[in-house]
Amino acid sequence: MERETEGGAARQRAVSDSAAHGSDALAYAQSMIDTVREPMLVLDAGFDIRTASRAFYAVFGVSREETEGRSIYHVGNGQWNIPAVRKLLDDVTKDGRDVQDFEVAYNSPRLGRRVLLVNARKLWTEPSQSFLVLMAIEDVTGRKRIPDEPTPSNEDLQRFAYVAAHDLRTPLNGALDLSRLLAGSATEKLDEREREVLQLSIASLERLNALINDILTFSEAGNAPQQRRLISLEHPLQLALANLKHKIEHDQASISYGPMPQVLGDRTQLAMVFQNLIGNALKYRRAEAPRIRVEAAHEGNVWRVSVADNGEGFEAEHAVDIFEPFKRLHSKEIKGSGIGLATCKRIVERAGGRIWAESVRGQGSTFFFTVPGGPETPG
């Protein structure tokens, strides 16, 4: 029989005891949660966090100042704003029933993909009949298979997408070339409406061509052999800047970077990561000229690379899902397939690193990724 730890027993007592009433309920919860090893939260009826355990702050890497008084859905980068957590809280608050061992697939920029078990219970606060919600969180990732690992059916789908995109590229390029030829040679013979239709057709074919190329790039990023060797991170950065030279000059962008370290990585694929991140900073700009700063800082045996910009930014709740394929936060007027960041994620994770983002709407964004350091990386 598995032996229950002292912290686990205390947590169970805290979740199961609903005898606290009135103004004593919050004080009771506060006195209990700091005695356990697992992360715990106390929410009010509006799902604002009243207090959290020391373990919660340590595990999830947030401070008391940016946690207490804020909605659970807005803490961190909005990673608790997911359907599973909303369902859990609805079950507790609307049905009034305890929730035990509710499994949540949690995606954190700091921790990566995790599987959590959540227990929750109402604490009534008479005489006002308002309530608090006590949540206990246990990380069981080591005992679970994280659900986004490719299954055989997913692999088959990926292969089908690659083959379909590859086979479609040749006839699509032929149709695009013919349309451009027609636009160049027969423009004077067409009326205004016909010219407009032809240009719309060309634009649609160009978007489809870009999408197919991005799908192929995404597939290759997960399957092409990685040439991991000791390189200066400045080499792929310079390659990316050279590829974006025309766009940088056109937008009058200012791009600066600090000293770049020696890392273990694939030069071509790291250049692709830089090109996507810097290209996005140029694409999602504000009226002022883009200012982009690239820096690297060591963390243990890896380097954390940041790409910061002064662009449009985005809401914090999208910090995780923007790395999913075809996820776009902007209108269709801004060109893009929604695959670039997914490609970056695939490259970085395949190399053993992680990638995440921080942003405030209207105040720019910072994208981070980690890459293994060379033998001389400071410890």
Q: Is residue 13 part of a domain?
A: yes
Q: Is residue 1 part of a domain?
A: no
CA dist., res. 358 & res. 257, Å (int): 19
Domain boundary residue among 84, 114, 143? 143
Q: Are 42 and 67 in contact (CB under 8 A)?
A: no
Bridge-partner residues for 366, per DSSP?
A: 308, 358
Residues 93 and 185 in one domain: no
Residues 236 and 326 in one domain: yes
CA dist., res. 353 & res. 361, Å (int): 27
Q: What is the pTM of this model?
A: 0.47
Residues 379 and 236 in one domain: yes
What's the CA dihedral at 172, 157, 148, 266 to 10 degrees? -50
Number of domains in the chain: 3
Residues 96 and 211 in one domain: no
Residues 106 and 119 in one domain: yes
Structure tokens at 350: 């395949």
Q: Is residue 215 part of a domain?
A: yes
Residues 132 and 157 in one domain: no
Residues 231 and 354 in one domain: yes
Q: What is the CATH number of the domain that holds 279?
A: 3.30.565.10
Identify residue 341 by its one-letter amino acid code.
Answer: L
Instruction: pLDDT tens for the chain, 379 residues: list them.
Output: 344 444 444 444 444 443 344 455 556 556 666 666 788 888 888 888 888 888 888 888 788 888 888 888 888 767 788 887 888 888 788 766 777 878 887 776 666 777 888 888 887 655 555 778 888 888 887 665 544 444 444 455 555 555 555 556 667 667 767 777 777 777 677 777 877 777 777 777 766 666 666 555 665 555 555 677 899 999 999 988 998 898 899 999 999 999 999 998 888 889 889 988 999 899 888 889 999 999 999 888 889 999 999 988 888 877 787 887 665 555 454 454 567 888 888 888 888 888 999 988 888 999 999 998 866 555 4
* Cα Dmax for the chain: 86
Q: Is residue 325 part of a domain?
A: yes
Please report the beta strands in the chain, taking only residues with DSSP state E, as ranges in sequence order.
40-43, 49-52, 99-108, 112-125, 130-139, 229-232, 254-257, 262-265, 291-299, 302-309, 355-359, 365-372
Structure tokens at 240: 């990316």
Domain boundary residue among 188, 204, 224? 224
Residues 275 and 364 in one domain: yes
Residues 232 and 218 in one domain: no
Q: What is the CATH number of the domain that holds 53?
A: 3.30.450.20
Q: Is residue 298 part of a domain?
A: yes
Where do we find the tokens 């599987």?
A: 115
Q: Are 110 and 57 in contact (CB under 8 A)?
A: no
Residues 219 and 243 in one domain: no
Contacts of 317 (CB under 8 A, 6+ apart): 73, 74, 77, 78, 81
Q: Is residue 204 part of a domain?
A: yes
Q: By residue range, what is the domain housing residue 125?
A: 6-143
Residues 78 and 183 in one domain: no
Q: Is residue 109 part of a domain?
A: yes
Between strands 302-309 and 40-43, the pairing is unpaired
Q: Is residue 328 part of a domain?
A: yes
Residues 263 and 364 in one domain: yes
Phi first, then psi, for residue 255 (nearest 5°) are -125, 125
What pLDDT score does 366 carry? 93
CA dist., res. 320 & res. 297, Å (int): 22
Domain boundary residue among 176, 194, 224? 224
Structure tokens at 147: 């659900």
